[in-house]
Amino acid sequence: MCGIVGYTGRDQAAPILLDGLSRLEYRGYDSAGLAVRDGSAPAEVVKATGKLFHLADKTDQGRALRGQCGIGHTRWATHGDPTVINAHPHVSGNLAAPGSGAGDSDVVGVHNGIIENFTELKEKLLRHGYVFYSDTDTEVVVKLVDYYYKKYRIGPVDAITRTMVRVRGSYALALMFRDFPGEIFAARKDSPLIIGTAEDASYLASDVPAILKYTRSVYYIDNLQVARVSPGQAVFFDLNGDETAVPLTEVTWDAAAAEKDGFEHFMLKEIHEQPAAVRDTLNSLVKDGRIDLGAAGLAEDTIRSLTGIVIAACGSAWHVGMAAQYVIEDLAGIPVRVELASEFRYRSMPMAAGTLVIVISQSGETADSLAALRVAKERGALTLAVVNVVGSTIAREADLVLYTLAGPEIAVATTKAYSAQLIAMDALAVEMARVRGGITGEQYDHLLAEMAALPDKIRRVLEDKERLQWFSSKIVNAHDIFFIGRGLDYAVSLEGSLKMKEISYIHSEAYAAGELKHGTISLIEQGTLVIGVLTQGKLFEKTVSNMMECKSRGANLMGITVNGNFAVEDSVNFTVYVPRTDEHFVPSLAVVPLQLLGYYTSVSRGLDVDKPRNLAKSVTVE
């Protein structure tokens, strides 16, 4: 959602802030702003709606703002329309004019998250003479900090902790105080915020790519902590105002991984990075020819004692869970339920002894998934996080952690993170099957060999992209697309449909093929595109039969199947083949053509592939 950046050091702050914000554009935003302080002078605030280049033009690429300490923000509107006046940063006084000036303000701040009791707090502040110029909850927080700061004549840390006690909701805050030039104060609860340090400079950001160009030394500020940031240094405090230690983490990502590297879009680059993401994730889990979950903390005795598994996730991660459900149940014989995290958190689901709750999240900060994790822990379940970001909140709070190695993913529509999660869950399923005696040693070796071959097979699928680009030009004006499949093919259909709708804006739905006749087939009309995923041998003929029912009602058909099933061509209008592999792992191959189809369709429609409308990369609010 919203993006936060901050800088304090020797260099001019505004150009650095703009650069950081540009690297957070993938998170989604509708307006942006900067606040820069030059010594003890009041902060100068500049805001703009729309794309970031409007703010850059307004500030002469940041050169017009003097000062070596500042904060910046890209806003995703929650409270209040996407207007200049509602854009961040916000100030404790009366804004001198929409878009510039800080008036009589002593505190300036930016905020990511949602303050649930902002109306109650606003009423309190109105009674104490504060005047509000915006419709945002952020302005309320900034003024509340100012209120405590002045009423009790306390320092910034104590004013912020008093505010944190009163505020309900989620937030990452970055604040500057007129009385403390050259310093930035930060706090967080449930919304991501990192602090990086280098020689004579410090940085704040919502995500690593924003500051990776400047430093690899990063602090992951913990929940309900406050940070006091000065050039080259960060000091952390708990809610009592007592200093506390936060470990310094060295980011291992290559800075080039967050660049397009010659590709037209990040999404296309990340589709092509899937072989590496799958290989690296698998190699991190396989030691000396055997799957080793020691780093994840999942012991064999624990695996043997499991009575059930619940997978909680959102979006594409939920689709990973849907695929994993079939594989775990078939290989390991453990009952699995897959729950949308946004629903799980509000259900009163009993947790039987021996239940493992697996939470899957690329960012490790997804609000609903984090809430589901906490609910599971409250109910006494053992929890395992499958995440891509070391030090993320979900990773820190889960009992066990299995890291994927997809590297930074910039495009809003996930591709390589999905594939890395999928191979991680497949490896987990195979190891559970071995430990519980669900497979023989020979089968285990076969499954390992099949997984190890997936990266090269994904590369072979990518070589067929020109045909998919051609086909996408034929469906660019489609109004409705239906994806169907059974079993694992249904799980792949779910992801394919999401890829199509989220970046091409074409209405698409995914259905278990057998459900077509229970109502959905009434939507099929002349020219409707139906895409069938046909990779599961025992279910192949049944799904083809369902597709023929659609064809008889005027639908055009596309089929995705494995090499050798050439009879499909007699039934459908366009066929895509993927290499053969063990059927448990074919989703890793079948999803790639659907990713490419969505990508090329979006490009053909002239859309913003990497930053689709109304969407954000990391959903950190409910």
Known catalytic residues? 2, 617
Give the single-character DSSP code of 272.
H
Going 437 to 442 to 443 to 444, the CA torsion angle's sign is positive
Question: What are the distances in angstroms from CA 301 to CA 304, 434, 435, 579, 615?
Answer: 5, 12, 9, 37, 42
261-272 exposure pattern, b = at least 16 Cβ within 10 A, e = fewer: eeeebbbbbbbb
Q: Do the beta carbons of residue 248 and residue 219 sit within 8 Å?
A: yes
Q: Do the beta carbons of residue 181 and residue 128 sit within 8 Å?
A: no
Question: What are the distances in angstroms from CA 587 to CA 42, 496, 599?
Answer: 56, 11, 18
How many distinct helices (H) and strands (E) make up the chain?
19, 27
Name, in order, each residue with C-beta under 8 angstroms of 608's C-beta and a sequence gap of 6 or more.
none
Name which of 416, 429, 402, 497 is nearest 455 in CA terms. Answer: 416
595 token code pair: 């990713």
End-to-end CA distance of the chain: 11
Q: Which helix (H) or strand (E) holds 375?
A: helix 367-378
Q: Which helix (H) or strand (E) holds 189?
A: strand 184-189
Going 169 to 175 to 177 to 178, the CA torsion angle's sign is negative
Q: Do the beta carbons of residue 482 and residue 577 sit within 8 Å?
A: no
Three-state DSSP at 219 gives strand
Q: Which helix (H) or strand (E) holds 482?
A: strand 480-485
The Cα–Cα gap between 430 and 435 comes to 9
122-157 exposure pattern, b = at least 16 Cβ within 10 A, e = fewer: beebeeeebeebbebbbbbbbbbbbbbbeeeeeebb
Specify which residues 109 forms β-bridges with: 90, 175
CA angle at 446 for the pair 444 and 450, rounded to the nearest 5°: 115
Q: Which helix (H) or strand (E) holds 393?
A: helix 393-397
Specify which residues 219 forms β-bridges with: 195, 248
Residue 587: asked if its preceding bond is cis (omega within 30°), the reply is no
442-464 exposure pattern, b = at least 16 Cβ within 10 A, e = fewer: eebeebbebbeebbebbeebbee
587 token code pair: 């989703």
The Cα–Cα gap between 510 and 513 comes to 9
Name which of 499, 515, 530 is nearest 609 in CA terms. Answer: 499
Place of tokens 């080259």: 232
